[in-house]
């Protein structure tokens, strides 16, 4: 006949391996779940940041194109200034979203784009041409836009984030 008079040492021998197995399982599950949540969180915010920054870049590019002049709307300079004002308002709204989503480097670059596109709009509104040294506001807005591209690419962890193709790459002539 088998008796159930097991002492504490025998109970510990049976219970401790079960306890260690449960602790190991719980810790590994916690670590895996935590990393999965972190990846999901980054992916969700990265997608939102990507969409917002893409809209910001499109709006900034449109302002730069409007400032060039030859492709003015049918209504002439006055309509171009109105469209510029509308795009600047859109840029301001997108800037507020970028402030919520992006790191400081992206925010500063975007702020530079907003600042210099405002100067472009003011020059277009007052019909003051560029100074003798060139169109400084447009050049600075474009430089800030390229810095914005680089900063966003860094935050989104794009490989070789600092490398951008030039606006007008050289054309190879084949003979």
Does any domain span residue 140?
yes
CA separation, residue 127 to residues 33, 37, 85 (Å)? 60, 54, 14
- Does the predicted TM-score (pTM) go above 0.75? no
**What's the CATH code of the domain at 140?**
1.20.120
Give the model confidence (pLDDT) of 50-88 as tens digits. Answer: 999 999 999 999 999 888 765 555 556 677 788 888 999
Does any domain span residue 37?
no
Does any domain span residue 35?
no
Residue 162 DSSP label: T
- The pair of structure tokens assigned to 67 is 């400032």
Expressed as residue numbers, the domain containing 147 is: 46-155
Does any domain span residue 128?
yes
Give the model confidence (pLDDT) of 27-56 as tens digits. Answer: 888 788 787 767 665 556 788 999 999 999
Residue 168 DSSP label: S
- Rounded Cα distance between 88 and 83, Å, is 8
- Rounded Cα distance between 60 and 113, Å, is 7
The structural domain count of the chain equals 1
Give the model confidence (pLDDT) of 145-157 as tens digits. Answer: 999 999 999 999 8
């Amino acid at each position: 006949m088998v008796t159930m008079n097991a002492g504490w040492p025998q109970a510990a021998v049976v219970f401790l391996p079960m306890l260690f197995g449960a602790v190991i399982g719980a810790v590994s599950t916690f670590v895996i779940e935590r990393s999965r949540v972190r990846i999901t969180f980054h992916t969700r915010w990265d997608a939102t940041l990507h969409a917002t920054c893409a809209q910001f870049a499109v709006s900034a590019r449109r302002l730069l194109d409007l400032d060039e002049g030859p492709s003015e709307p049918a209504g002439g300079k006055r309509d171009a200034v109105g469209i510029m004002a509308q795009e600047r308002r859109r840029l301001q709204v997108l800037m507020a979203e970028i402030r919520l989503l992006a790191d400081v480097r992206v925010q500063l670059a975007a702020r530079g784009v907003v600042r210099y596109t405002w100067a472009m709009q003011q020059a277009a509104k007052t019909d003051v041409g560029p100074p003798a040294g060139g169109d400084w506001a447009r050049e600075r807005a474009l430089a800030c836009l390229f810095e914005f591209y680089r900063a966003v690419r860094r935050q989104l962890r794009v490989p070789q984030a600092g490398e951008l193709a030039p606006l007008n790459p050289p054309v190879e002539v084949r003979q």
